[in-house]
A and B are shown apart, each in its own frame.
Chain A
Amino acid sequence: MLKALEGSQAIAQAVASCRPQVVAAYPITPQTHIVENIAKLVANGKMHCEMVSVESEFSAASVVLGAACAGSRTYTASASQGILLMAEVLYNIAGMRIPMVMTCANRAVSAPISIWNDQQDSMAVRDAGWIQLYCADNQDAVDTTIQAYRIAERTELPVMVCVDGFTLTHTLEPIDIPEQAMVDQFLPAFNFKRALNPAQPTSMGTLVSPDFFPEARYSHHQALLHAADEIVAADADWAKISGRASGGLLSIDGPDDAKIGILTLGSVYGTLVEAREEYPDLPATKIINLRAFRPFPVAALCEACQGLTDLIVLERALSPGYGGIVAPEVQASLTSVHAATRVHSFAVGLGGRDIPLEIYRKLHRRIQLEEPAPFTIIDVELERLPVEDYGVE
């Protein structure tokens, strides 16, 4: 049943419906409301789990790591500096192939301090070996959270559900919270085959000599590549139960014969889809929502980009000293099949700068050049900078 809910409240209810046994988290804006709502559900007896208050994100991640090793279904959530403080543990969780789900309420990273949304935090742990799924709206966040547990437990990989901070976490909108029976039907009880067991003692995360390290990395990499199938399957199976699909690895909105594409991750998708209606005179445009960033869906992306002369990648984070983070991967993926497609890379909305509908027209204007413009922060206002800082753009 649809209810008017704040995104964080809905995510908390979705987590509860997955029946995690251990939740540990440390509050940080804009993740706080998710964990507060979970704490409330536990206090009111509507959720039965061990809720562990910790003194830092490092401990939060460590607690769920330990609990998952012992065979519990676990959950944590963080953002920004919290994700960075967890970083060491995040690599361990993934390297030990521990299934678990966390929400990253995407927020910019300091300095300067910003509590607002971009995706620098999850991009900073891109290579930790987690599956990363980005949510376009709050319904997607609910459905993806539920799917994430099945994906994690079938692949023995952790899943980071990336939800734009404030833009989604603090937005109230109509959201359907699935019936408990539907979730139970979709998600069987967690049975971790490698769970620690005193009857058969094992060590996890031990020292691995050069004799085996590349093999460990190889199998982890393969597991992530194969996870693509589980992501697609989880979405398809959840759609059979709930009637809603989240797009699998990516979704495409717009005419098949469009020559221009815009690729996004996260909640800017809806703004672009409505912006396209506001500017009907601009050339037909496909809007591609990249849901799975890790594993990176090369084949699906090549298929989605068929026939495009121009693909604009909207970056929500930045690799200073190079530029966009997503576009180089997109370009490399397309090289073999669509070498003629011009890939443009623009960052937008860094540190929560509003992304207005007009951005759509601006993007269309910027790709009219003969040669693709180099990476740029498209909404930067240079006149706000001292003169000596121009130039390099």
Chain B
Amino acid sequence: MIEVRIHGRGGQGNVVAAYLLATAAFTEGWYAQAFPAFGAERRGAPVIAFARLNNKIIRRRCQIVSPDFLIIQDEALLHIPGIINGLKPGGRILLNSVRSSEAFADTLDARVVTLPATQMAKEYLGRPVPNTALLSAFLNLTGLLPQAALEHALEQRFQDKVLEKNLALIEAAAKKVEHNQWQEVANA
């Protein structure tokens, strides 16, 4: 079973990211589950969402405390104590930042890959919503699902211009990371 924990802020589309990931996996024949750990939702507040992917039915409903992967939608969240707690040994972190992966080597070492997702979202969507760019990069890094699965998931949720812009964004985001760099972790 693959477990992913997504950290972000209210308004960044954390829950939507988890739902999209689970939906994309589902379209590829996986069992999938996604759910939020809400506070009372408000823009800007730290929010956590979870996604599980498995080849058999998922019945547990507890939160994910030892994820295989972390997706962090705002690098400022790294200042919150314990945010990377529980990451499995060998687990990986995808971080939304304009800085290079190496810039975080001191604190997060080789586990981290960065993507300037907010910047890209502003460019492609005209809005600072980094979730779909990060998901696309995540899928390309892990090789877990083809990009087409994410496209299908987006088509179920968005239409017209918003969909078109997101499809362009995820195509560009996937190219920013190395294909299958995390494949071993995903297949472990």
Contacts and interface: CB of A to CB of B under 8 A. Distances in A.
Interface of A: 2, 4, 6, 29, 115, 137, 166-168, 170-174, 267-271, 273-275, 354-357
A173 B32 contact: yes
Contact of B36 (A166, A173, A274, A356): A166
Contacts of A170: 15, 35-36, 38
Nearest to B38: A166
Given A115-B40, A166-B38, A172 B60 contact: no
A269 B62 CA distance: 11
B31 A271 contact: no
Contact of A167 (B19, B31, B61): B61
B35 A137 contact: no
A196 to B, nearest CB: 42
B63 interface: yes
9 contacts: A172-B32, A174-B26, A174-B31, A270-B61, A271-B59, A271-B61, A274-B60, A275-B60, A354-B62
B22 A172 contact: yes
Contacts of A115: 38, 40
Given A167-B35, A267-B61, A271-B60, 14 more contacts: A2-B26, A4-B26, A167-B61, A170-B38, A171-B33, A172-B35, A173-B32, A174-B31, A270-B60, A270-B61, A354-B62, A356-B62, A357-B60, A357-B62
A52 to B, nearest CB: 26
Q: Dominant SS at the B interface? A: mixed
B34 A171 contact: yes
A172 B34 CA distance: 5
A174 B32 contact: yes
Nearest to B15: A170
Which 3 pairs show the lowest CB-CB distances between chains A and B?
Answer: A270-B59, A4-B26, A171-B35
Given A6-B19, A115-B38, A172 B33 contact: yes
B32 A171 contact: no
B58 interface: yes
A173 B33 contact: yes
B98 interface: no
A4 B23 contact: yes
Contacts of B31: 174
A173 B19 contact: no
A76 to B, nearest CB: 23
Contacts of A355: 61-62
A167 B27 CA distance: 23
A4 B22 contact: yes
Contacts of A267: 61
A126 B18 CA distance: 36
A355 B33 CA distance: 17
Contacts of A268: 61
A109 to B, nearest CB: 16
B18 to A, nearest CB: 8
Contacts of B33: 171-173
A137 B61 CA distance: 10
B78 interface: no
Contacts of A356: 62-63, 65
Nearest to A2: B26
A9 to B, nearest CB: 10
